[in-house]
Amino acid sequence: MRYLSTRGHADRKQFCEILLEGLAPDGGLYLPEHYPVVDAATLSAWREVYLKQGYADLAFEILSLYIDDIPADDLRALCRKTYTAAVFGSPEIVPLKKLQDAATDASQAGFYLQALSNGPTLAFKDMAMQLLGNLFEYELARRNEELNILGATSGDTGSAAEYAMRGKKGVRVFMTSPNGRMSPFQQAQMFSLLDENIHNIAIDGVFDDCQDIVKAVSNDLAFKRQYKIGTVNSINWARLLAQVVYYFAGYFQLPESATGGKASFTVPSGNFGNVCAGHVARMMGLPVHQLVVATNENDVLDEFFRTGVYRVRVGADTHETSSPSMDISKASNFERFVFDLLGRDAAQTADLFGRQLSDQGFFDLSAHPAFQQAATRYGFVSGKSTHADRLQTIRETYQRFGTVVDTHTADGVKVAREHLTPGVPMLVLETALPIKFAATIEEALGRPPERPPGFDGIEALPKRVKLMPADVALIKAYVAEHAH
């Protein structure tokens, strides 16, 4: 399998070549030349693999269709090392929890949460990042190279990256975050890591300042080359590929999967990475009826799926919400889907995401024949949720089912209910655990969420964090001093 750029002007590359890269050199995103399609016999064989041998072996089956340049035995070993019950909390790795009671319309085939948040940092990003850590270590050792990951986080990404890379040979992490803006739990999670290869940098500023610093450093090509600077952001194809696996694993846990029946997924969305993996799974032949994109007040994606207009928000139009990991002004993975939607026309994709977005800040596909196909052919629908919806959904889900959902998952549950199809089970992806966003849970339920075992008192652990001004030169000097 080779990989091409959505903008059509980059060389075709193999998996390990793009593993350590961000954007393609032409500014596009990498995608496989084609999606391998699996037939009913393969689906039922994979179902057996998952149910009898486990998630890691299912991951190997799927990944091996996309990765030619890692020997099969090594790839299987990497999957088995990553997806263990010890790290992800259960043998199923991504277990389903049914939310159904007598009050639910009997014609519904089932409403489920798919738990993706029982990894080390209690958010779904661990599912991909843990694999990425092992892939990086493997590939860097093979090349005898090192990598310094420079990132910006408002919470979930940074801690998932640090827990995945801690103690890994050849990798160092320099993670900037806005000082004092993450939840106390998130700060404790990140700053209590004392591993030598992990550097927390609290920036005196907001998240955008952190992102600007990372961009400025990445644009200094000489510095980037000298200090082997890399990223782990959500446009990395390996992250997206790792997420494809749990759509299959979710489906295989349904009774319908024995007969090839369909299921729908609702995905709390920000940068469109998670739901794009669902799109890939569907293109591979997973029987997905609908992919429901759930947004919060930052409804860039909902607006597109409703109207055909994709309008990037300016800073002042980007809201700080109680589901902060979905607070985006643009969806960095969206270009991948639009490329497929336009029949993989790279020239048109480059025109939309290159010229039109930079000239006018939006593009409009409402009159394009492809736009209707987003729903009819690709199964995409969408909805939006607000702070009031979130509180109401958290309360109701607790009262009816005794289950506390986090704020992002609540957005998913709210929007999923608006898109139920009789006879089709609905799986809502649970993207974080409530303890990460305790203040809003307390607002909804009048008491703080439960703390999973092993997280007691983490706020009191010793912290290692460097406080710095939002100054590119100083950050560069810090990286240069510690990047060896």
Q: Which residues would be at the binding site for ligand PLP (CB under 6 A)?
A: 123, 125, 156, 234, 268-274, 325-326, 408, 431-432
CB of 252 to ligand PLP, least distance (A): 22
Question: Which lies closer to ligand PLP via its Cβ, residue 8 or residue 22?
Answer: 22
Burial class (CB in 10 A: 0-12, 13-18, 19+), 34: exposed
In this structure, the number of other CB atoms found within 10 A of the CB of residue 86 comes to 5
CB of 481 to ligand PLP, least distance (A): 31
Residue 238 to residues 128, 150, 413, Cα–Cα distance (Å): 8, 18, 28
CB of 179 to ligand PLP, least distance (A): 20
Active site residue 262: no
Do the beta carbons of residue 394 and residue 445 sit within 8 Å?
A: yes
Question: Which lies closer to ligand PLP via its Cβ, residue 10 or residue 188?
Answer: 188
Question: Which lies closer to ligand PLP via its Cβ, residue 43 or residue 249?
Answer: 249
Question: Which lies closer to ligand PLP via its Cβ, residue 43 or residue 115?
Answer: 115
CB of 150 to ligand PLP, least distance (A): 19
Closest CA to 75 of 83, 67, 87, 84: 67
CB of 117 to ligand PLP, least distance (A): 7
Paired tokens of 367? 């009159």
Question: Which lies closer to ligand PLP via its Cβ, residue 165 or residue 242?
Answer: 242
Do the beta carbons of residue 108 and residue 100 sit within 8 Å?
A: yes
Catalytic residue among 98, 125, 224, 330: 125
Do the beta carbons of residue 281 and residue 248 sit within 8 Å?
A: yes
Question: Which lies closer to ligand PLP via its Cβ, residue 210 or residue 468?
Answer: 210
CB of 153 to ligand PLP, least distance (A): 10
What is the rounded distance in angstroms from the CA atom of residue 1 to the CA atom of residue 34?
A: 8
CB of 206 to ligand PLP, least distance (A): 18
CB of 240 to ligand PLP, least distance (A): 9
Question: Which lies closer to ligand PLP via its Cβ, residue 158 or residue 230?
Answer: 158
In this structure, the number of other CB atoms found within 10 A of the CB of residue 329 comes to 15
What is the rounded distance in angstroms from the CA atom of residue 199 to the CA atom of residue 193?
A: 9
CB of 272 to ligand PLP, least distance (A): 5
Backbone conformation region of residue 321, classed left if phi is above 0, alpha if psi is from -120 to 50, else beta: beta
What is the rounded distance in angstroms from the CA atom of residue 297 to the CA atom of residue 104?
A: 28
Residue 239 to residues 68, 274, 333, Cα–Cα distance (Å): 17, 9, 11
CB of 28 to ligand PLP, least distance (A): 18
Question: Which lies closer to ligand PLP via its Cβ, residue 230 or residue 434?
Answer: 434
Phi, psi of 228 (to 5 degrees): 50, 55
Question: Which lies closer to ligand PLP via its Cβ, residue 230 or residue 324?
Answer: 324
Question: Which lies closer to ligand PLP via its Cβ, residue 95 or residue 268?
Answer: 268
| Active-site residue list | 125
